């Protein structure tokens, strides 16, 4: 055969092979691009730590990005009024406790002698007033004294009798012991004082803002010297064990996933592979809440969010909030490939 014909057929064969190879690569590229790996986000729960008592920020013990343990002091709030309230409550408790002990023990011997002496003095005064009244009454019957003098002596007699009755009642109360009602009243005052002191101490301890859980501090919203209102957030953070991986899928693919099943994902840049378990499937209210960057979704389909939890514990610094993750070979509805 002519060498020129061989060269010509060789070139034709070469171009045919080249075009076939390019067509195969283009088809493979279209297949891969049609179904890219399912992308999602790593999200942590957010905790807002606030102050229970109002006051001025005295000091902040942590910085943004720092990991803290549950119970660690994050900040100290200066509240001078609480210290004064606690001192007042301590004094009220001492006074109420002393009155309660007095009510239980009753009067001592010195108080008993004092009350008896008051009773004897009132009785002597009453006897004198009584005798004077009898004499003046006889003279008044005979019209020997003025009516004004009679009224004065009678008034002194009635006052002395009232004083004797009061002293007798006090002596009887002392000798018979303290009434149960008075003991209950004293006990109630003591319990009320204890409650006020416990409340003041609790408010005093609230000066120390503590971490509610093991967490990473995301932001510090206030600085020393600023006034903190009750309930205003001072810190925001993410608990270490609250990471969840969220993916968005279309309505046509959501039935390919099952709650409780195990899947595998990887982080976008570090390549870390994590076994996850599907916890929840939630319908998204709008497209603005879509988690995946390129959800496989057709017009008119509802978008659903898949929430996965790690099957095993994840290293604290291996995954960060809002990190992009992929699920390769994600399940799809039949016929979509």
Hey, what are 195's tokens? Answer: 């409650």
Contacts (Cβ under 8 Å, ≥6 apart) of 175 = 112
Domain edge (last residue) among 182, 203, 224: 203
Residue 335: the pLDDT is 43
Q: Are residues 177 and 221 in the same domain?
A: no
Contact 51, 230 (CB under 8 A): yes
Q: Is residue 134 in a domain?
A: yes
Residue 336: the pLDDT is 41
pLDDT in tens, 155-183: 888 888 898 888 888 777 766 655 666 77
Q: Rounded CA gap, 296 and 299, in Å? A: 10
* Locus of tokens 């004064």: 84
Residues of the chain with pLDDT under 50: 28-34, 294, 335-337
pLDDT in tens, 291-331: 555 455 566 678 889 999 999 888 878 888 889 999 987 77
Q: Are residues 115 and 169 in the same domain?
A: yes
Q: Are residues 52 and 193 in the same domain?
A: no
Residue 214: CATH number of its domain: 2.40.50.100
Residue 108: the pLDDT is 59
Residue 3: the pLDDT is 63
Q: Are residues 118 and 60 in the same domain?
A: no
Q: Are residues 189 and 118 in the same domain?
A: yes
Domain edge (last residue) among 203, 219, 254: 203
Contact 61, 74 (CB under 8 A): yes
Residue 32: the pLDDT is 45
Mean per-residue pLDDT of the chain:
80
Q: Which domain holds residue 214?
A: 47-77+209-236
Q: Rounded CA gap, 149 and 92, in Å? A: 52
Q: Are residues 192 and 97 in the same domain?
A: yes
Q: Is residue 120 in a domain?
A: yes
Q: Is residue 141 in a domain?
A: yes
Q: Are residues 100 and 186 in the same domain?
A: yes
pTM tops 0.95, yes or no: no
Residue 29: the pLDDT is 46
Strands (E), the chain: 38-43, 47-50, 55-60, 67-68, 73-78, 208-210, 215-220, 227-228, 233-239, 244-250, 262-267, 273-283, 303-310, 323-327
Q: Is residue 166 in a domain?
A: yes
248 CB-contact burial (10 Å; exposed 0-12 / middle 13-18 / buried 19+): buried
């Amino acid at each position: 055969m002519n060498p020129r014909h061989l060269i010509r057929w060789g070139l034709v064969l070469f171009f045919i092979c080249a075009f076939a190879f390019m067509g195969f690569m283009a088809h493979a590229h279209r297949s891969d691009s049609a179904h890219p790996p399912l992308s999602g986000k790593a999200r942590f729960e957010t905790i807002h730590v606030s102050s229970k008592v109002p006051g001025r920020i005295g000091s902040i013990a942590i910085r943004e990005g720092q990991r803290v343990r549950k119970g660690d002091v994050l900040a100290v709030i200066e509240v001078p009024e609480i210290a004064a309230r606690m001192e007042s409550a301590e004094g009220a408790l001492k006074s109420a406790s002393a009155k309660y002990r007095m009510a239980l023990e009753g009067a001592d011997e010195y108080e008993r002698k004092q009350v008896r002496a008051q009773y004897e003095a009132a009785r002597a005064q009453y006897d004198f007033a009584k005798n004077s009244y009898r004499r003046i009454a006889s003279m008044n019957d005979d019209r020997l004294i003025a009516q004004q003098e009679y009224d004065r002596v009678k008034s002194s007699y009635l006052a002395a009798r009232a004083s004797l009755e009061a002293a007798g009642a006090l002596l009887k109360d002392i000798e018979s012991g303290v009434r149960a009602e008075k003991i209950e009243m004293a006990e109630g005052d003591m319990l009320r004082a204890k409650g006020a002191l416990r409340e003041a101490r609790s408010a005093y301890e609230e000066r120390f803002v503590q971490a509610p859980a093991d967490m990473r501090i995301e932001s510090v919203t206030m600085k020393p010297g600023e006034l903190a209102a009750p309930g205003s957030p001072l810190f925001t953070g993410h608990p270490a064990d609250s990471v969840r991986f969220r993916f968005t899928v279309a309505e046509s693919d959501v039935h390919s996933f099952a709650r409780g099943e195990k899947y595998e994902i990887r982080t976008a840049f570090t390549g870390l592979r994590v076994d996850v378990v599907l916890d929840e499937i939630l319908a998204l209210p709008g497209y603005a809440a879509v988690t995946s960057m390129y959800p496989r979704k057709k017009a008119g389909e509802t978008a659903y969010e898949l929430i996965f939890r790690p099957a095993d514990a994840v290293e604290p610094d291996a995954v960060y909030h809002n990190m992009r993750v992929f699920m390769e070979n994600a399940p799809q509805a039949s016929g979509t490939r």
